[in-house]
């Protein structure tokens, strides 16, 4: 079992406790997408997570990147990151860490969240402006 400070690192795969009210009531794996600083901060009661689902049919694209099971991530079946269901959740509602996704998979999940909330449009517009400004 990892040290508590390591448990909430970006890319950690944790089991979310079942919701009491609303939600689907399932124990569900999720990926931590908060910064490492937030995860290590003992005063921070919450982290941002993206839940995973084993329903991967037709989801090998943003905003639901598919993660293949490996010993390092602890998943037992292909899982899609439900980037549209990103949530801020109390650390106390997260059970054991089952693994960690690779840096590239974490990047894909974070990009999926960025796409869902419209940040990719903003980033693209900013990149275009910078490109035009750097021209002679």
pLDDT tens digits along 45-102: 999 999 999 988 766 666 899 999 999 999 999 999 999 999 999 999 998 899 999 9
Is residue 42 included in any domain, yes or no?
Answer: yes
Rounded CA-CA distance 16/29 in Å is 6
Q: Looking at the domain assignment, is residue 53 inside a domain?
A: yes
pLDDT value at residue 136: 63
Q: Using DSSP, state whether 63 is helix, strand or coil.
A: coil
Q: Answer whether residue 136 is part of any domain.
A: no
34 φ/ψ sector (left φ>0, alpha ψ -120 to 50, else beta):
beta
Higher pLDDT, 50 or 5: 50
pLDDT band with cut points at 50, 70 and 90 for residue 131: low
Is the alpha carbon torsion for 98, 40, 103, 83 positive or negative? positive
What CATH number is associated with residue 109?
2.30.30.110
pLDDT at 134 (0 to 100): 67
Count Cβ atoms within 10 A of the Cβ of residue 24 and give its class: 0-12 exposed, 13-18 middle, 19 or more buried: exposed
Torsion of CA 74, 76, 78, 84, to 10 degrees: -60
- Residue 2 maps to a domain: no
| pLDDT for the residue 45 | 94
Q: How many domains does the chain have?
A: 1
Mean pLDDT of the chain: 85
CA torsion 24-25-26-28 (nearest 10°) is 80
Angle between helices 103-116 and 119-133 (to 10 degrees): 100
Range of the domain at 33: 10-131
Average pLDDT (14-23) is: 74
Whether residue 3 lies inside any domain: the answer is no
Please state the pTM of the whole predicted model. Answer: 0.81
pLDDT of residue 50: 96
User: 113 by DSSP, 3-state: which?
Assistant: helix
Q: How confident is the model at residue 37 (pLDDT cuts 50, 70, 90)?
A: very high
């Amino acid at each position: 079992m990892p040290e508590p400070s390591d448990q909430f690192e970006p890319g950690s795969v944790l089991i979310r406790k079942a919701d009491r009210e609303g939600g689907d009531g399932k124990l569900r794996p999720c990926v931590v997408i908060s910064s490492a600083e937030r995860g290590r901060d003992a005063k921070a009661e919450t982290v941002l997570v993206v839940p995973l689902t084993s329903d991967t049919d037709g989801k090998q694209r943003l905003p639901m990147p598919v993660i293949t099971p490996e010993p390092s991530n602890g998943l037992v079946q292909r899982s899609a990151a439900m980037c549209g269901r990103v949530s801020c959740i109390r650390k106390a509602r997260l059970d054991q860490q089952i693994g960690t996704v690779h840096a590239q998979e974490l990047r894909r999940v974070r990009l999926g969240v960025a796409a869902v909330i419209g940040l990719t449009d903003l980033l693209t517009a900013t990149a275009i402006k910078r490109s035009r400004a750097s021209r002679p």
